[in-house]
Chains A and B, each alone.
Chain A
Amino acid sequence: MTEIYMPRLSDTMEEGVISSWAKNVGDKVASGDVLVEIETDKAVMEYEAYEDGYLVEQYVSAGDTVPIGAVIGFIGETPDAEAPDAEGAPAAPAQGSEQGAEQASEQAGEKPAETAPAAPAPAADGEGPARPRTSPLARRLAKEYGLDIDAIEGSGPKGRIVRADVEAARDRAASGAPAAAPAAAAAPAAAPAAQAGTEDPRGSEELKVSQMRKTIARRMVESKQQAPHFYLRRTIDAEPLKAFRAQINEQLADTGTKISFNDLIVKAAATTLKAHPEVNRSWEDGRLLQHHRVNVGVAVAIDEGLVVPVLHDTDTATLSDISARTRDLAGKARDGKLKPQDMSGGTFSVSNLGMFGIDSFSAVINTPESAILAVGAMKPTPVVHDGEVVARNTIALELSVDHRAVDGAVGAAFLKDLAEVLESPMRIIL
């Protein structure tokens, strides 16, 4: 005839203990009779019957704990009425179901079967709580906001957690309020500043998000969340590099090719990587991959964002080749004509913000690569040279390294060699 559910008897109650049964199996029950005493997180409460009949089954014994909404007993029309098996007994949602349970307790006398419907809930044998009902959007947002979806109450049909619930929980968390404040859950429409269309005190406007923006956002979060970065810094004496570049460009004057500092650094990085294969690796899904090709990516800023075209086999490419390919790829990047193969297969990246006068910076690794070299501006710096303080051009290098694949000493040895190559630049091409 009707199931008896573990009622919600306090605002913060999630489960209850059967303190004692006031009626035994077979007892006549009249509406208003105390059926069972239930211990909540706050007190022991009497729970009354809403129906006339006979208690024909107690599914949960005194002393046992079950979540809100679990079936604890059954009232039949006759003393020998058949109660459904506990396994097959309909059960209300266990988690995030306060509202449903509330309704159930309010309306139990009328049509409890509808307000406490069959949902994936704990079996009476006390297995773990079922997965809460959530909308896909709510699930995604909870993950994005770093909220535990199990701790959020659902206000939707059958206790479904919807966006409004997640946003309310986020706002409560931000304001320090208890995460599962039931008052807020009961009136989700009133959640502050969560609804679309509400006035934003920052005078904000939502911009269209380009696919590239989305990709950058996703990849950067992945990198920072998954790859434990450590950073190594070293400043190099750039005078030899400057002289070397001048000499090369003089020789190339007729060809129209002009080698940039960045070309030299890219080539030096490739040469050094070849000598340090332990840096030319990736940690991917629990596997350590050794790359036998050296493919250096060059970060290029474009209007819509940032792309990293890849110079494949950088170690075997000549400087003028690197120069030409870099110019070509950068042009394609700005024209939006890069093909997927132009951006895939990188094993190491170089990011150069020297043109903005940046001294040095810490770059985010372009995973699954293991390291990225951040190159600062070349600028005159007082340094001790041959025992005297003189002004010399220097460049600050900073290497960001994924500690899953490359350890500190390994990275340091690489950066040391790279610095030495750049300071004896003939080694770049030897």
Chain B
Amino acid sequence: MTHVSPVVQRLRITFGKSGPLKYTSNLDMAKIWERVLRRAGLPILYTRGFNTRPRIQLAMPLPLGITSECEILDIALRESIEIDAAMLTASLLRVAPHGLSIHAIDDVDLREGTVQSRIISAEYRIHFVDPLEAGVLQERIADILLRKTIVVEKVRKRKRSVMDLRPLIIGLRIDETGDLIAHLSVGERGNMRPDQLIEAMGLADYHHHAHRFKLHLLPK
């Protein structure tokens, strides 16, 4: 038996989440996209079988409560369409929920591997709504970067384990507006969330917003 892939075309959408959508989990976000694509009338490809699912994939989960402008969605199409990024963006946005933004739409080579495996780190801008005293942020950054290890306890499937977060911090700095810019590892090789960083810096009591603005990919 020969298997011919029914995938005719692949699209990659770079999108953003803000407003109420930041409280939507990754799984629910996939459902939102499925419905946006259906409303827009895009010929998405469905998996075969009893419980058919659309062949769409979110590249890197975004923790709940964080806004973003750099999320990646890969879509398989069953019919090819002409890509006019501006027009396609407009037709998707017309049927998108409040808080969804689209930053790029690209054609992806059919032979290219999945994008997940190439994502290694992410950059976040963390804005403190509760003002910190002058110099505190600078101080905490210096402190944490000096530490050799940041051991935290993790409970997963009722099993306790310890992990070291320190190697997952790639860089910390303060930008011109005073926000904390954090460059952290993400993905299977080690994943650190902004809230873990803020906790480790002892700043969890200060109300803050985190925004993911860049995903770093390994070259193809």
Q: Do A and B come from one complex?
A: no
- B residues near A (Cβ < 8 Å) are none
